[in-house]
Amino acid sequence: MTATPAAFTRAGRNGRSHVTYTPTTVLGDTHTHLKIDIYYSKGGTNVWHGTTEPRGYWLSLGAVEVRENSIIETLSLRSDGFGKRIFLKGAASFSAKRFAEVVMMVRTAEAELVRLALVRDYSNVSKVAKEALGIAA
């Protein structure tokens, strides 16, 4: 069996996403990493559930499998409901400079976000992330 890759980060292809993969054994044998994605979304109607989502910065959590040789991820659709999207802060338009600031501020709380996400304490994940941005939760 190959070793699990260490934690790593990467920017999204469009420059509006920053992803961190943290190795863990808590998610089971088939999910090797916790994926934390900070991204900007234009908002609008969500076709899956018909709601209107706000424009701005979001935090997404998910269980993924990362393979060492090609770093392929497979999103989990687990029956226990692991995974969450959290709206962080509204923004009328995208700014690369502001996005970099948001990423940097949220990453200061990353260790605590990982700890809370792995026990599925999503209300406190939201609270910690917003506090890192200087927003009262």
Mean pLDDT of 5-14: 77
Q: How far is CA 38 from CA 1, 18, 80, 134, in A?
A: 31, 5, 23, 16
Judged against a pLDDT cut of 60, whether residue 81 lies above it is answered with no
Given a contact cutoff of 8 angstroms between Cβ atoms, the answer to whether 2 and 79 are in contact is: no
Given a contact cutoff of 8 angstroms between Cβ atoms, the answer to whether 106 and 129 are in contact is: yes
pLDDT, mean over the chain: 84
Judged against a pLDDT cut of 50, whether residue 25 lies above it is answered with yes
- Residue 45 confidence (pLDDT): 86
Q: ∠ CA(118), CA(55), CA(81), 5° rounding?
A: 25
* Nearby residues of 48 by Cβ (< 8 Å), 6 or more positions away: none
pTM of the model: 0.85
Which DSSP category does 3 fall into?
A: P
Query: Which residue shows structure tokens 């497979």?
Result: 74
pLDDT digits 0-9 by tens, 88-117: 999 999 999 999 999 999 999 999 999 999
* Nearby residues of 62 by Cβ (< 8 Å), 6 or more positions away: 34, 35, 37, 75, 76, 82, 83
Measure CA 101 to chain center.
Answer: 16
